[in-house]
Amino acid sequence: MLNSRIETALNAHINVEMWSAYLYLSMSAYCHNEGYTGMAHWFQVQFKEEQEHAQILFNYVVSRGGRVKLAPIAEVETEWASALAVFEHTLQHEKKVTMLINDLYTVALEEKDYATQSMLRWFIDEQVEEEAGVHDILNHLRMVKDNGYGLYMIDKDLGARTYTQPAPFATAE
């Protein structure tokens, strides 16, 4: 059974993950409007991943006898200056999420909640991958600067991304 401090922290993070999904859907819309359909697709995959991250936490809270309490999702940005700017914002956001997950892990340590610590390790590893992937995209965008052909190639590569269901999601139902 979850104690109230862990339950409250996990519920707050469910909201973070849903807000992240909403942000990535907004970024997808921006990319579509700018003609970057591959980048728009990449953000749609991110949108799905963030929804499933929230669902993993939701399922975990329920499985531990806790109560999920959903909160309103705050407004997200809808405009960026460029493709580079949208991915810079993405990296900044992923770093913030990493910090929040680390904070959650600290709470689980302080509460000696070993099951929650175990579950959160997957999220910690996932954040390392998320940051590295966005960092690579930023490096490529910075290399090509405003070169139309380079942007076209990056957009095409990002459009080839396939969605993979997160491993814990398959076992959480």
Tell me the per-residue pLDDT of 27-36, one tens digit each, with 9 for 90 and over: 999 999 999 9
d(CA 10, CA 104): 7
Look at residues 101, 88, 96, 102 and name the one whose alpha carbon lies nearest to residue 135. Answer: 88
Torsion angle, alpha carbons of 55, 126, 95, 85, to 10: -90
Sign of CA dihedral 45, 118, 96, 59: positive
Domains of the chain: 4-70+79-162 (1.20.1260.10)
d(CA 26, CA 111): 36
Band of the pLDDT at 161, cuts 50, 70, 90?
Answer: very high
Span 10-31, mean pLDDT? 98
Decide which of 102 and 171 is more confident: 102
Specify the pLDDT at position 166.
81
pLDDT of 89 > 80? The answer is yes
Span 143-170, mean pLDDT? 90
H/E element, 158: helix 148-159
Q: Is the pTM value of this prediction over 0.75?
A: yes
Residue 33 in tokens: 């409007």
Quickly count: other Cβ atoms within 10 Å of residue 39's Cβ: 28
Band of the pLDDT at 93, cuts 50, 70, 90?
Answer: very high
Band of the pLDDT at 173, cuts 50, 70, 90?
Answer: very low
Tell me the per-residue pLDDT of 114-126, one tens digit each, with 9 for 90 and over: 999 999 999 999 9
Look at residues 133, 110, 132, 109 and name the one whose alpha carbon lies nearest to residue 120. Answer: 109
d(CA 80, CA 69): 32
Tell me the per-residue pLDDT of 67-86, one tens digit each, with 9 for 90 and over: 999 999 999 999 999 999 99
d(CA 90, CA 27): 9
